[in-house]
Amino acid sequence: MPMNLDTDSLKSPEKAGIEEKFHLILLAGRLLLQNSAATGRVHQAVYQLADVFGWPVRLFVDYKVLTLTAQVENRFISRFSRSVPAMNINMAVITRVYQVINAIKKEKITPKEAVEELEKIDAGLPHYHPWLLILMLGITSGSLAKLFGADWLTFFIVGIATALGVVLRQQLGKRKLNPFLISFLAAFVGGCIGGVAVRLGWGSTPELCLIVPSLMLIPGVHLINAVLDLLENHITIGIARLGLSCVTLSSIAFGLLLAASATETLISASSKSVRLPLAEDMFFAGLVAMGFALVFNVPQKILAACVLCGMLGHGMREICLNLDLGIVWGNLIASTLVGLMTVYFSRRYQAPSAAIAFGAVVGMIPGVFIFRSISGLTQILALGTETELSLLINTVVAASKAVLMTLAIPVGLAIPRLLFFKFELK
């Protein structure tokens, strides 16, 4: 049977209905993609909407656009979405889109009403107040420093440096500057403040003053999504997200290294392992999870679940370290626990697991090891053949930990779903 490739031969009402359904499916998919849903979630959502309309479809997800081909009766019709302006992180948007999809599947709303709701979501959802974010990110950064063994003076220095960096990022973002330049400048400013503290010898852990403010800039969600996409064989978009993460990390690293050079300080390639009592570790991990959840605009009703997952996940990693399993296995086991918990909470609250999991685990991204390995590499390049063996070994160890710890997080999150569960969006 010959197949028509478009809708030109259809009557106007029928054509309008098909175009409305295409718009609905592609709008939902684009909103998920541009707000940092994993590509597998985008495919699942699109296929489920298409099933509601009885359409066999094929979806191609690019970094900037979605292309959908559907078989409508005896026709193959293709449409593509509006271009994705930027990769944001907004879990409130992802949660609302899932709610709309579930409402369509349960026939609680019509496709026209769904389009209207999605367009409202696309126009923008409320975020947490900017000053609340500044305060919480300062506390989050200080708490992250405490997890590395910082004293209270370092806690306050890191918090202030991070808060000033957040203000800078907000102001530069309003001026539509290149996001990589914003990351570079924010890392430089935070590093300079920390570098001054190092020079003045404030606190017993001055080096953390230099490093930790830049940890808040690390694109942890994009790194996790990149690995998840590669695991699920979405190679093109996975490589694109990985490239975005690497360029962002490079911008942060160069800003931090420039700050270290300007303040005549040095980031060591080696680090000492500091362990907190389990209860204290979980307390500060909860504050870290809370801060990242607010930044990711996680809905209020699931904030507590996000914090609980962050506390128990980090606590599990600490238990693994106490059992001498190593930090890489600790990250994997902790992330698997978080993955199991988020499947439960996502079904209980009818929310996507990413909205709960990302805030809980992003604090375990090994940013300190990333920056130490880059600093070690620059020292090796400067010293050349005069490089000491200890510096070379410490750099390789830091880089290896950074890679393996980063890989362990998305793998751990994926294990419960890959082994026991289907996608939570049903």
- Which residue in this structure is represented by tokens 């880089």? 399
Query: Where in the chain are the domains?
Result: 12-123, 127-265, 268-426
- Which residues fall within 8 angstroms of residue 39, CB to CB, at 6 or more apart? 33, 61, 225, 228, 229, 232, 234, 237, 238
pTM for this structure? 0.88
- Using DSSP's 3-state secondary structure scheme, residue 150 falls into coil
**pLDDT score for 118:** 93
Q: In what order do the strands lie in the sheet with 75-80?
A: 57-61, 66-72, 75-80
- Which residue in this structure is represented by tokens 């698997």? 336
Token duo for residue 377:
């590499």
In single-letter form, the type of residue at position 92 comes to: A
Nearest to 29 by CA among 100, 116, 127, 103: 100
Range of lowest pLDDT (114-128, 199-213, 255-269, 323-337)? 199-213
Q: How confident is the model at residue 11 (pLDDT cuts 50, 70, 90)?
A: low
pLDDT tens digit string along 317-358? 999 999 989 899 999 999 999 999 998 898 888 888 888 998
Question: What DSSP letter does each residue of 269-303 carry, written as one string?
Answer: S--------HHHHHHHHHHHHHHHHHHTT--GGGH
Residue 424 has pLDDT above 50, yes or no: no
